Chains A and B, each alone.
Chain A
Amino acid sequence: MMDDLKTRLKEMLTSGAIGMVIGYGQKEIYMADGSREYRTCPVFLSRDTEIDRLVWNRHCVQNLVTYLTKEEYKESGKIALMVKPCDLKAIHVLEQEKQIDRKRLFIIGLTCKGVMAEKMGIDEGHLAGKCIKCLDSSGKSSAVCTPDEADIVIETLPDGDMPPKGKDISSDLEGFEKMPSEKRWAFWQNQFLKCLRCYACRSACPMCYCEQCICDMSRPQWIDKSPHLKGNFLFHIVRAFHLTGRCVGCGECERVCPMGIPLMLINQKMIDTVKDLYGYESGKDPEQAPLLSQFKMDDDQSFIK
């Protein structure tokens, strides 16, 4: 299946039907003990001779959709993009918000059975938190990229045995919510004290595409730019609010945080809240109106106090 894909992509690159493939590849890296390891990372291929670098394995964690809205990739012609079923949701939101032109995109839909959790650059040895609920009893992802949505569907599954499951985000959140409020407050103070404001969470997020982020604005300056506790709280609260009804739970923000701040706790809470209140799931359908631009007479208004 991967071979068919590679042949097709080579043809498309040669004919000019696509200008670039953004996918997963492996690169050899130099380790301190003299060994070489292979690391899966995003690759950007614009020559047919490079296509054989593409891989599909359990380390294909990064959500590549984030590159679609970055300035540097807008000039690359039509882009072929490797997309996991969960990443597809991010494409849907970008379509809803008119940020991408679906015609400029060739979606390579992957069939998934879970990817590995990665935190602070280290493989945690178990499945990513977002995968647990997604996988059915056979260990296959319940979410699939259908031929309707993807231009080509790869049914090859990532190789290897089923890794340990690890903890599901929702159960983490449940545990967290059981803590008394003072403890939760202390928890977040502790977490946000570490925040460097490197904005890796923002840069990695497929939904954070604003040309000028509110956090960088100076007239008026809404948010303290300094990475002290107050500024950091403000930043993360504003980030959460701006992602409400938009976050698809890909977990990239938490994965890339160099300080290991568990940002998915916040995101999952927001995801659950909009689902409970409005039955809305972001990224489910590119045709649906964005949550915050719909209004129904019977909308729950209990949040107005």
Chain B
Amino acid sequence: MNHLYKPTLMKIEQIKEETSDVKTFRLVFLDPLLKETFQFKAGQFAEISVFGEGEATFCIASSPTWHGFIECSVKRAGKVTQALHQMDVGDTVGFRGPYGNHFPVEEMRKKDLVFVAGGIGLAPLRSLIWNCLYSRDQFGKITILYGARSVADLVYKEELKTWETRHDTYFIKTVDPGGETNDWDGKIGFVPLVMRDLDINPQNAYAIVCGPPVMIKFTVQGLDAMGFSPEKIITTLEMKMKCGLGKCGRCNIGHTYVCKDGPVFSFAEIQAMPAEF
């Protein structure tokens, strides 16, 4: 019997150590047909499993415009993530997905985009950023503000360099005070504070925010002060999930199933939810 909880198999093709506790896994479907035909949208997530250890929820961090593989960035935090960190290239994992809604890419066309990310929160935005850069001419000004606790905690370091050197993106990196190194050439300061000094025009723009809850809170306050309407501030919510299918009942915020109705929400939608996340 085929059923919803039966995963398809994927092979680990590449493992990249991003930080001391984050690794990015490049995964390829064992089934050649699926490898060719698999599609998803930026912002969607998947249930990745290590057989014998269990399943965990990860956003797909690669761009939907890349074909033949997907990438997920995994921060070592629990049982499954620890097991994933111990795996090698060539090992097999289980995959269920893609699940959830996605970033409103269509609505974002012709608009300015402001990406604000903290730490591993860059993972879902990375998918969207590359998605937008793929058809760069269809979007307005693209600003990317990325911060982490320290230089060592920055993920996708090579890609950050690419964004920094590209002429069609305005990229700012920052680390929290004390997290800098001697040769650090970025800013020093918390993301929401650094954001204040940026040249951002809320007219005809979307802000896409992802990071630790406290960063999101102050960033959203800052964006609000700049004049962004809550409908134009987009974030993805992280809740504990098991099924990803709107059945197991643990990601609910009020009657909203984060796994089905989300994980991407506008700040306006979040304001309408009970404050329980």
A and B co-occur in one complex: yes
B79 within 8 A of A: yes
With a cutoff of 8 Å between Cβ atoms, the chain A residues found around residue B79 in the complex are 218-219, 221
Q: Which residue of A lies closest to B79 (CB)?
A: A218
- Determine if B82 is an interface residue (Cβ-Cβ < 8 Å): yes
- Residues of A with Cβ closer than 8 Å to B? 218-219, 221
With a cutoff of 8 Å between Cβ atoms, the chain B residues found around residue A221 in the complex are: 79
B78 in the interface, Cβ–Cβ < 8 Å?
yes
Residue of B nearest to A218 (CB): B79
Task: Give the dominant DSSP class at A's interface.
Answer: loop
Q: Which residue of B lies closest to A219 (CB)?
A: B79
Residues of B within 8 A of A218 (CB): 78-79
Q: How far is the CB of A12 from chain B (nearest CB, A)?
A: 36
- Per-residue CB proximity of B70-110 to A under 8 Å, as 1/0? 00000000110010000000000000000000000000000
Nearest residue in A to B54 (C-beta to C-beta)?
A: A218
Task: Rank and list the top 6 A-B pairs by shortest CB-CB distance, nearest first.
Answer: A218-B79, A219-B79, A219-B82, A218-B78, A221-B79, A219-B78
Chain A residues lying within 8 Å of B78, measured Cβ to Cβ, are 218-219
CA distance A218 to B50 in the complex (A): 14
A–B pairs, 6, beta carbons within 8 Å: A218-B78, A218-B79, A219-B78, A219-B79, A219-B82, A221-B79
Give Cα A218–Cα B79 distance, bound, in whole angstroms: 6
Residues of B within 8 A of A (CB): 78-79, 82
How many Å from the CB of B50 to the closest CB on chain A? Answer: 13
Closest chain-B Cβ to A272's Cβ sits at a distance in Å of 38
Q: How far is the CA of A219 from the CA of B54 in the complex (A)?
A: 12
Q: How far is the CB of A225 from chain B (nearest CB, A)?
A: 10
Chain B residues near A219 (CB-CB < 8 A): 78-79, 82
Tell me the complex Cα distance, A218–B82, Å: 11
Q: How far is the CB of B206 from chain A (nearest CB, A)?
A: 38
Can you name the residue of chain B whose Cβ is closest to the Cβ of A220?
B79
Give A221 to B78 CA distance when docked, in angstroms: 11
Query: Shortest Cβ distance from A188 into chain B, in angstroms?
Result: 28
A218→B83 CA distance, assembly (Å): 12
Q: How far is the CA of A219 from the CA of B83 in the complex (A)?
A: 10
Bound complex: CA A219 to CA B78 (Å): 7
Bound CA span A221–B47, Å: 20
B82 proximity list for chain A (CB < 8 A)? 219
Rounded to whole angstroms, the CA-CA distance of A221 and B79 in the bound complex is 9
Q: How far is the CB of B177 from chain A (nearest CB, A)?
A: 33
Q: How far in angstroms is the closest Cβ of chain B from A224?
A: 12
| Minimum CB–CB distance for B243 against chain A, Å | 16
Complex alpha-carbon distance, A221 and B83, angstroms = 13
Select from chain B the residue with minimum beta-carbon distance to A221: B79
In the assembled complex, how far is the CB of residue A73 from the closest CB belonging to chain B, in whole angstroms? 22
Give the CA-CA distance A50 to B79 in the complex, in Å.
48
CA distance A218 to B78 in the complex (A): 8
Chain A residue with minimal CB distance to B82? A219
Q: How far is the CA of A53 from the CA of B131 in the complex (A)?
A: 65
Q: CA A219 – CA B86 in complex, angstroms?
A: 14
- How far is the CB of A231 from the nearest CB of chain B, in Å? 15
Bound state CA distance, A219 and B82, in angstroms? Answer: 9
A220 to chain B, nearest CB (A): 9
B55 to chain A, nearest CB (A): 12
Bound CA–CA A273/B8 (angstroms): 52
User: For residue A217, which residue of chain B has the nearest CB?
Assistant: B79
Output the least CB separation between B84 and chain A (Å).
13
Measured CA separation A218–B53 after assembly (Å): 9
Question: Smallest CB–CB gap between A222 and chain B, Å?
Answer: 12
Assembly CA distance A23 to B11 (angstroms): 60
Q: A218 to B77: give the CA distance in the assembly, Å.
A: 11
- Shortest C-beta distance, A305 to chain B (Å), equals 33
CB distance from A37 to the nearest CB of B (A): 33
A221 to B82, CA, bound (A): 13
Q: How far is the CA of A219 from the CA of B79 in the complex (A)?
A: 6
The CA-CA distance from A141 to B231 in the complex, in Å, is 68
A216 to chain B, nearest CB (A): 12
**CA separation between A257 and B82, bound complex, in Å?**
36
CB proximity of B21 to chain A, nearest CB, Å: 14
Shortest CB-to-CB span from A46 to chain B, Å, is 25
The answer for the CA separation of A80 and B82 in the assembled complex, in Å, is 46
Shortest CB-to-CB span from A81 to chain B, Å, is 31
How close is B241's CB to chain A, nearest CB, in angstroms?
Answer: 16
B98 to chain A, nearest CB (A): 26
